[in-house]
Structure 1
Amino acid sequence: MQKRKKIAKFSILPAVAGTMFFSFSTKDAAKLDLESFSTANLELDYTVEPLLEEDIIKEVHVSNLPKLGKSYLGFKEAVGFKESRGNYKTINEYGYMGKYQFGKGTLALIGIYNTQEFLNSPALQEAAFYANASRNKWILKRDIKRFVGKTINGVEVTESGILAAAHLAGPGSVKKYLRSWGAQAFSDAFGTSIKNYMQKFGGYDTSFIQPEKRAKAVLPTA
């Protein structure tokens, strides 16, 4: 997310100096059927005390639900659990909102100005996540091409890791981190760094996300 939480800057020394694409829009993102997916088999790192599995999914046989794996759905659900434990209604102490912990500034960039409507609409939050990732992918497309496959501060750079880090700290901070080979590092108010997110969310297939300069979160019309 853009300018997420309180960003602190510090410097460290770096440790070491045929894809198929799909046409996709934020309207399609809002139509995703979220009820039929489970995050039970993902390795998730929580920022808050996790609920027991039986408290998250009640009276459901987890083995009968599809595994999200390293797909786009797996990526966004893993980020959502890291940010808020998947809670669409939460607002943290710094005012970041919803499942993916968006700030008002980032929401405005993707066309969302009514924060109450945002909090009350899971579909709009899912569309917002896609739109923000789409915008960040457009901003970082040259860096994705240049750095994917390289190793920075002991972590292999992947597209999904870059997009997750941009969600955390904004695409500008990620550019500085990559282009300095990790010397210009950032962390949020909870101590989570770009390196943390690049490592935690590396290796997902985010080809589903299409880069768009002016991506907006749009709900489908009735």
Structure 2
Amino acid sequence: MQKRKKIARISILPAIAGTMFFSFSTKDAAKLDLESFSTANLELDYTVEPLLEDPAFEEVHLANLPKLGKSYLGFREALGFKESRSNYKAVNEFGYMGKYQFGKGTLELIGIYNTQEFINSPALQEAAFYANSSRNKWILIRDIKRFEGKTINGVEVTESGILAAAHLAGPGSVKKYLRSWGAHAFSDAFGTSIKNYMKKFGGYDTSFILPEKRAKAILPTA
């Protein structure tokens, strides 16, 4: 596969929770040959544990967010609230960290080895969320093409639902779920399942996320 040149692009989007979001693009993304993608030797199974939720509090919080709708920012903020109530400093009982409740192993996959720096940097956490989603999208691109629009266990499969489920359970678990038509289920330590995330986060526009095999969460330098 031809090596693609990464072009740094900084997009400063509207501030949410006092942070800036940095996005990264790839010059040749539109020319990707999806049929040549291989996930050999990639770690596909990992989990990101969400905190216990209060549905009433969640409803009020989401109602008070800027009207992000079904955009990428809407997807990101809804998932961040589900994971930690959007708390960048959150660390749960299993050691999962930050707004999106990343585990140490997942962070290392996207190039983050200093967990103290990670927990103290909202910008790095946002970059980590994008990088992890980008990597998961690369791994799952064939499954997205195959299953999007299908119904599994009573839930319509969408790209955003797949990416949210991969954040929860890892792309390997999502592959097994989809390819078994829901027979191979997964639930985390809190009882949250792939089906739950497929339903809760379905229908967002995640075309902003570009698939990248070796996506890394590295902030651009000034």
- Answer yes or no: same fold by TM over 0.5: yes
Secondary structure, counterpart of 2:185 in structure 1: strand
- Conserved 8 A contact 2:138-2:213: yes
Task: Give, as a single letter, the amino acid of the residue that structure 2 aligns with 1:35.
Answer: I
> Any gaps of 5 or more consecutive residues in structure 2?
1-5, 19-49
- Counterparts of residues 117-132 of structure 1 (less than 5 Å): 117-132=117-132
TM-score w.r.t. the length of structure 1 is 0.76
Task: Give, as a single letter, the amino acid of the residue that structure 1 aligns with 2:121.
Answer: S
Secondary structure, counterpart of 2:190 in structure 1: coil
CA RMSD of aligned residues (A): 2.7
Task: Give, as a single letter, the amino acid of the residue that structure 1 aligns with 2:77.
Answer: E
- Conserved 8 A contact 1:27-1:217: no
Shift in alpha-carbon separation, 1:214–1:121, aligned structure 2, 3 A? same
- Counterparts of residues 1-222 of structure 1 (less than 5 Å): 28=10, 31-35=12-16, 47-49=52-54, 66-222=66-222
- Conserved 8 A contact 1:26-1:216: no
Task: Give, as a single letter, the amino acid of the residue that structure 1 aligns with 2:13.
Answer: L
Aligned partners of 1:101 and 1:89: how far apart in 2? 10
Q: How many residues align?
A: 184
TM-score w.r.t. the length of structure 2 is 0.76
Aligned to 1:9: none
Secondary structure, counterpart of 1:184 in structure 2: coil
Aligned partners of 2:114 and 2:136: how far apart in 1? 22
> How far did 1:47 drift?
3.0
Query: Which structure is higher in RCO with an 8 Å CA cutoff and minimum separation 6?
Result: 1
- Conserved 8 A contact 1:26-1:127: no
- Conserved 8 A contact 1:80-1:100: yes
Secondary structure, counterpart of 2:209 in structure 1: coil
- Conserved 8 A contact 2:88-2:119: yes
Shift in alpha-carbon separation, 1:52–1:179, aligned structure 2, 3 A? closer
Aligned partners of 1:95 and 1:174: how far apart in 2? 23
Aligned partners of 1:47 and 1:163: how far apart in 2? 21
Aligned partners of 1:25 and 1:144: how far apart in 2? 25
> How far did 1:28 drift?
3.5
- Conserved 8 A contact 2:51-2:92: no
